[in-house]
């Protein structure tokens, strides 16, 4: 007995057409089951991926909150340092301007003296004989 005849007997099918219809429906249901299992697997993967991404997002949010506190503290510190440095440089500029006002004449005299003595040394080195003649 062939496989078709055996199935026809089991399913109480009288003709081949009914048997073909039953077999087609079984194949379709097998295909649907395969697609269903593929969909279930895909859904499982999507759920697993979503859970992992959610866990990572929670971790990132916690880390960001932790780092944000440090960042704010460092930013505050840098701003305070900038204010202190601005104040110190302002005082230095003020002191410098006071010194220039008070000791302007002495500073210019020293600068002129240094310039003339340097010029004199240069002339002595470049023209030693002329310098000796000028001194006599």
**In whole angstroms, what is the distance from residue 116 CA to residue 23 CA?**
119
Query: In this predicted structure, which of 5-14, 19-28, 87-96, 106-115 has the lowest mean pLDDT?
Result: 5-14
Q: Is the pTM of this model over 0.75?
A: no
Residues 28-62: tens digit of each pLDDT: 666 666 777 777 788 888 899 999 999 999 999 99
**In the chain, what are the domain boundaries?**
3-102
What are the tokens at 42? Answer: 């895909």
- Residue bearing the bigger pLDDT, 63 or 35: 63
Name the residue among 117, 114, 122 with its Cα closest to residue 131. 122
């Amino acid at each position: 007995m062939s496989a078709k005849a055996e199935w026809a007997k089991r399913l109480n099918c009288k003709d081949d057409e009914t048997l073909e219809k039953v077999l087609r429906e079984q194949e379709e249901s097998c295909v649907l089951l395969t697609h269903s299992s593929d969909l279930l697997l895909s859904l499982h993967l999507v759920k697993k991926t979503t859970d992992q991404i959610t866990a990572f997002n929670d971790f990132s949010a916690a880390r960001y909150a932790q780092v944000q506190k440090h960042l704010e503290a460092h930013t505050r510190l840098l701003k305070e340092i900038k204010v202190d440095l601005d104040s110190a440089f302002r005082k230095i500029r003020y002191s410098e301007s006071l010194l220039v006002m008070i000791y302007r004449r002495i500073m210019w005299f020293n600068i002129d003296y240094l310039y003339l003595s340097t010029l004199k040394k240069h002339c002595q080195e470049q023209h030693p004989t002329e310098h000796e003649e000028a001194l006599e």
